[in-house]
Amino acid sequence: MQKTLRDSAALRWLVLILISSLLFSTYWFYDFYGGIKGLMERGMGISSEEYGRIMSSTTYANVVGMIILGGIILDRWGIRLAGLVFGGLSFLGAIISAAAVAGWFGDDKSTMLIWSIVGRIIFGIGMEVVCVMVTRTIVKWFMGYEMALAMALNIGFGRLGTAMGMAVAPDLAAGGFISPAFSFAAILIGISLVFFIIYIFFDIKIDKQRAESGIVTEEEVDEEKFRFADFKKLITNRSFIYIALLCMVFYSAVFPLLAYAPDLLVNKYGFSYEMGSDGEFLIFGSAILGTAFIFVLLLIFGLSFSMVPRAFKSNTHKLLSFLVISTLFLGYVYVLRDVFSEWLLNGPKTASLIPMGTILFTPIFGSIVDKKGKAATLMMIGSALLVFAYLSLSVFNHVYLGYLGLISLGIAFSLVPAAMWPAVARIVAENRLGTAYGTMFTFQNWGLAAFFWGIGALLDFVNRYRLADIEAGLTNYDYTIPVLMLALLGVISAWLAYKLKQADKLQGYGLENPHTSN
Ligand SMILES: C[C@H](NC(=O)[C@@H](N)CCCCN)C(=O)O
């Protein structure tokens, strides 16, 4: 058969970098607010509830079915047009948000708040459909090749965006001016759109090649398309209902916490928001470039740990490669020991290590699920770890227990997604996965809408008699009750994972079996 562009490994990986840049930049914009929550409150004069309202507004269009509608539009228009329109919407939303905090629409609090919400709503519409579009593009280029690896790398780029956004935003907002952090994040989405436009040339070319060689084009493949009949079937399937509810409850306990984690560490343990010069690693005199370099190296180590030993067949080579990477990693930590010890006392930098850790752990847990199965059991364990994490971060006050809680949170955040997303592929036929993910993301947005806002509202409520003192810098927010509320979500997640395990026993999808037995 005639070769197409996707038969070249170099071109496939180039395509992955071009399209994953969209995930990197949109995850950055989604999550960088967490690194500057305190600065936003002071700079815009907003309360925690209002901060929560801004974060929650990202989901407003999605809770009423925008992701499903976006999926249908993606089916009709194809990757190129839908990518441009929805990527463009996320860029537009980011520009509006940046203009809002820069005071372009007016510099009074309510104008800034309203336009920040408008910006986040538009950004949220674009961002979620971009996620679906990027996954579809990976399937188009990697089906029959390294698809699982490509998907893991793609999510890795997203998590890198989350981590860097949280860690770098306070450096960009130095001196308390939050506007540069917003403009920078919006520009990143603009740059990734340029990368997407470059990708479009490859997309046109491959479609032409496929048409010439008689392979159906993306627009002609209709098994992937959204159908209401499939949707009805899905939401009456017991196992799917439990996994979709688990997706909603679990992510509601994790994503919103990330938006508050730096502030929690600052208020509970007295960590700093802005980095002292001891914690700065300068490249060409720039702390921002230095931080970016540290994160990119962390990403390379994370991916090497999880992928290089696996690439060898013999156990000796596996062990040797693991030892080489470990030695290099220890050298890296040793050289940067002073920087890291400062980072562990800084709220945004410490919190950013949670998404960073998932880059290392998610592929490891993914391969455990592949080899040993036990997907539902692992989701139960991951949810139980959430309970431990949030008890450590709420009712106890010891900072070491706090670190342990953060590590547990990082493991849970790796374990549950690593078991959940492949499990969906067992419950739902491959050509209905798009509909299934769209439905799950919609459920997820319902939970996110409630908890992004709920944590902030509860924080203001439980601290209502101390708010004036908090604003004056005389005392700190008490996060105990809002974090305890998230521990309850962990309990519900564990119960849903248990119900999923029971439903699977009845329906026989084999979630507890290794993937290799298929
Ligand atoms: C794969 C999954 N993605 C999502 O849940 C997206 N709907 C939202 C991403 C928000 C980024 N903070 C994931 O990232 O685990």
- Within 6 A (CB) of ligand 1 lie 27, 30-31, 128, 131, 155, 158, 162, 251, 255, 417, 441, 444
Integer CA distances (angstroms), 148 to 18, 142, 418, in order = 18, 9, 11
Question: Does residue 218 have a pLDDT over 90?
Answer: no
Average pLDDT over the chain, rounded to whole?
91
Domain boundaries, the chain: 9-214, 228-273+349-517, 275-345
Q: Does domain 228-273+349-517 have CATH number 3.10.129.10?
A: no
**Looking at residue 517, what is its pLDDT?**
44
Same fold, 9-214 and 228-273+349-517: yes
Q: Which range is least confidently modeled, 17-31, 46-60, 337-351, 414-428? A: 414-428
* Nearest atom, ligand 1, residue 131 CA: 6
Rounded distance, CA 478 to CA 463, Å?
Answer: 7
Section 266-270 average pLDDT: 95
- pLDDT tier at 1 (50, 70, 90 boundaries)? low
- pLDDT tier at 299 (50, 70, 90 boundaries)? confident
**Residue with token string 């079996």:** 513
In this prediction, the answer to ipTM > 0.90 reads yes
C-beta separation of 183 from 102 below 8 A: yes
**Residue with token string 């936003």:** 40
Answer yes or no: pTM beyond 0.90: yes
Section 251-279 average pLDDT: 92
Question: Does residue 311 have a pLDDT over 90?
Answer: no
Report which residue type is found at 441. Answer: F
Question: Does residue 518 have a pLDDT over 50?
Answer: no
Q: If DSSP states are collapsed to H, E and C, what string results for 316-356? A: HHHHHHHHHHHHHHHHHHHHCHHHHHHHCCEHHHHHHHHHH
Three-state DSSP state, 286: strand
* Nearest atom, ligand 1, residue 162 CA: 12
* Nearest atom, ligand 1, residue 128 CA: 7
Q: What is 9-214's CATH number, 3.50.50.60, 1.20.1250.20, 3.40.350.10, 3.40.50.10420? A: 1.20.1250.20
Rounded distance, CA 154 to CA 21, Å?
Answer: 9
Query: Could you report the per-residue pLDDT of 173-191, keeping only the tens digit for each?
Result: 877 799 999 999 999 999 9
**Residue with token string 């679906």:** 132
Integer CA distances (angstroms), 324 to 304, 311, 327, 514, in order = 10, 14, 5, 30
- Quote the ligand 1 centre to 47 CA distance (angstroms): 26
Query: Could you report the per-residue pLDDT of 382-433, keeping only the tens digit for each?
Result: 999 999 999 999 999 999 999 999 999 999 999 998 899 888 888 988 677 7
- Residue whose CA lies nearest to ligand 1 atom number 1: 155
- pLDDT tier at 221 (50, 70, 90 boundaries)? low
With the most atoms of ligand 1 within 8 angstroms of its CB, the residue from 23, 120, 131 to mutate is: 131
Query: Could you report the per-residue pLDDT of 460-502, keeping only the tens digit for each?
Result: 999 999 999 988 888 999 999 999 999 999 999 999 999 999 9
With the most atoms of ligand 1 within 8 angstroms of its CB, the residue from 134, 251, 444 to mutate is: 251
